[in-house]
Amino acid sequence: MPLKRHWAYFRSYDNSFTGSEAVDWLHELLKRNHNFGPEVTRYQTLQLLRKFMKNHVVEDVKGRYGKEDFEDSGQVYRFPPTSPLKPLPQRPPVSENCDLPRLIRWDDYEELPQPEKIPMKSLILNSETWNKRHSIAIGEVHECKIIRRSDITPKQVNQIWKSMTITHLQRVLGLKTMDGVLDPKHVNAKHIIHNVFSVNKTGIVILKNKAEDMPYWVLSAMKCLANWPNGRETKQPMYPGFERDVLRTVSEYFQRLKEPLLTFQLYEVFVNILSLLQQKEVAAEALQVCSLLLPPANRRRLQLLLRLMARVCQNPALPPLNDAIATRTLMVQTFSRCILGSAEEVDLDELLATKLVTFMMEHHDSVLRVPSNLHRHVEDHLSHLRRVQFQKSYPEIYRRRFPTAESKAAVLPEKGPRLKPQLMLLTLKKPFQPFQRSWSFRA
């Protein structure tokens, strides 16, 4: 992981890194690794780094670890100066003539012995094998290859995300069929997966190819206008009407795009959402699913643009951007056709775009969020398929690790009803005396 100098606790620390830098770097590494894949979430990466800190693989710049949690923030961390070695575990002496049932190990998938019992002496590792295995933990083994057996392929994962997303969208829209609304060949599963997992802490899409992102001068102008007056750089000239020129710069960039951000191919899908605008939650969920179908570069531009429009409308410190119309109306009129439009111009295009963009601007925090229901259903389905795949490949191991109700009943017979304990009167020195009421409750 890249290390550099960071400032913390009123001094600088060389060869260090921040928590956010570590999460960013490790998250990208895991997503590119074939043993993990793009479905790894940022939170899972953070959990892994927390385990690293608990086991002193990393520490904070003051040398603390174990009890502290690794944070996805600007907190500064470093690698410890010495390797976190652990002593060799001591094996208790065992008689060689003792026979014990063999325990199933996860690394014994390929060659599982048939006998139920084997001599204990064959279970004890000799010192050479023991040291060889332990050397993995102390870094003497230079290369370790991990193979995930019996897993579903990336192609299957892509197909599942595509089919379940289309089905979920059809259900939310309340349509019997997607014919004439969405052509499945226009749905790219890689776009969906990227839009779900490749995001920053605020949910904005992160592009792998920086050349696909907006030019720096556009991003700078959008940042200046969104954070007005705090976003102004000192080198920028200030004159009356400066903020209007900044808005004109941003609008000209979006108006020169070859097609709207919602694309011509997805026009009919987004138009169908107009009938759901009276139902806020349903319309928001429909927009959440539909926006996952966008190319990642379009989704990122849309997220940043809607955020800009909302902030401009809610900023009382920003001077009027037009003398004739209100700022909210100006934002919708300026950018609606840049967001939604059809390849063949019709009379109602502008009205439809205005209604949908107004709704998206007012609810931008929710409409471009990853739909939690869809995400959970797909993850559950993938987990089920992996379990079924494992069951087919290793039925005997699966039967032992995941017993059925019938197999449990065969091993553990049903117990009869438990009897209430009775008083053992024979242990008393005196005969049992019944309770005598010596006074009246009425008194």
Q: What is the pLDDT, as a whole number, of residue 147? A: 47
Residue 247 Cα to chain centre, angstroms: 34
Q: What is the pLDDT, as a whole number, of residue 395? A: 65
The helix or strand, by DSSP H or E, that contains position 383, with its residue range, turns out to be helix 372-393
Q: What is the pLDDT, as a whole number, of residue 116? A: 44
85-94, 165-174, 175-184, 292-301: range with lowest mean pLDDT: 85-94
3-class secondary structure, 205: strand
The helix or strand, by DSSP H or E, that contains position 6, with its residue range, turns out to be strand 4-8
- Residue 184, pLDDT > 60, answer yes
Is residue 187 very low, low, confident or very high in pLDDT (cuts 50, 70, 90)? very high
Q: What is the spatial distance between Cα 302 and Cα 337, in angstroms, rounded to a whole number? A: 13
Spatial contact of 275 and 348, defined as CB atoms under 8 Å apart: no
- Residue 286, pLDDT > 50, answer yes
Q: What is the pLDDT, as a whole number, of residue 399? A: 64
Spatial contact of 354 and 332, defined as CB atoms under 8 Å apart: yes
Spatial contact of 353 and 340, defined as CB atoms under 8 Å apart: yes
Rg (CA), the chain: 32
- Residue 73, pLDDT > 80, answer yes
Count of beta carbons in the 10 Å neighbourhood of residue 284? 22
Place of tokens 């939310």: 172
Q: Which two tokens stand for residue 237?
A: 């000239």
Is residue 240 very low, low, confident or very high in pLDDT (cuts 50, 70, 90)? confident
Count of beta carbons in the 10 Å neighbourhood of residue 397? 16
pLDDT in tens, 5-20: 988 888 888 899 999 9
Q: What is the spatial distance between Cα 196 and Cα 194, in angstroms, rounded to a whole number? A: 5
pLDDT in tens, 388-442: 778 666 666 656 666 666 655 555 555 555 555 554 444 444 454 554 444 444 4
Average pLDDT over residues 89-100: 53
The helix or strand, by DSSP H or E, that contains position 11, with its residue range, turns out to be strand 11-18
- CATH code at 154-374: 1.10.555.10
Q: What is the pLDDT, as a whole number, of residue 123? A: 42
Count of beta carbons in the 10 Å neighbourhood of residue 319? 13
Amino acid at 106: W
* Helices and strands in the chain, H and E counts: 16, 6
Is residue 159 very low, low, confident or very high in pLDDT (cuts 50, 70, 90)? very high
pLDDT in tens, 205-230: 999 998 999 999 999 999 999 998 87
Residue ranges per structural domain of the chain:
4-78, 154-374
Q: Is the dihedral of CA 206, 212, 216, 217 positive or negative?
A: negative
- Residue 124, pLDDT > 50, answer no
Mean pLDDT of the chain: 79
CA distances from 176 to 171, 180, 276 (A): 8, 12, 16
150: left (phi over 0), alpha (psi -120 to 50) or beta: left
Q: What is the spatial distance between Cα 321 and Cα 317, in angstroms, rounded to a whole number? A: 12
The CATH fold assigned to 4-78 is Arc Repressor Mutant, subunit A (1.10.10)
Place of tokens 């991990």: 146
Amino acid at 431: P
Judge if the upstream peptide bond of residue 101 is cis by omega within 30 degrees of 0.
Answer: no
Residues 6+ apart with CB under 8 A from 196: 292, 370, 375
Strands 99-101 and 117-119, bridge-based pairing: antiparallel
**Model-wide pTM > 0.85:** no
Q: Which two tokens stand for residue 396?
A: 């005997």
pLDDT in tens, 304-341: 999 999 999 999 989 889 989 999 999 999 999 999 98
User: How much of the chain exceeds pLDDT 90, in percent?
Assistant: 41
Is residue 291 very low, low, confident or very high in pLDDT (cuts 50, 70, 90)? very high
3-class secondary structure, 54: helix
pLDDT in tens, 346-381: 656 678 889 999 999 999 989 989 998 999 999 999
Q: Which two tokens stand for residue 225?
A: 């206008």
User: How much of the chain exceeds pLDDT 70, in percent?
Assistant: 70
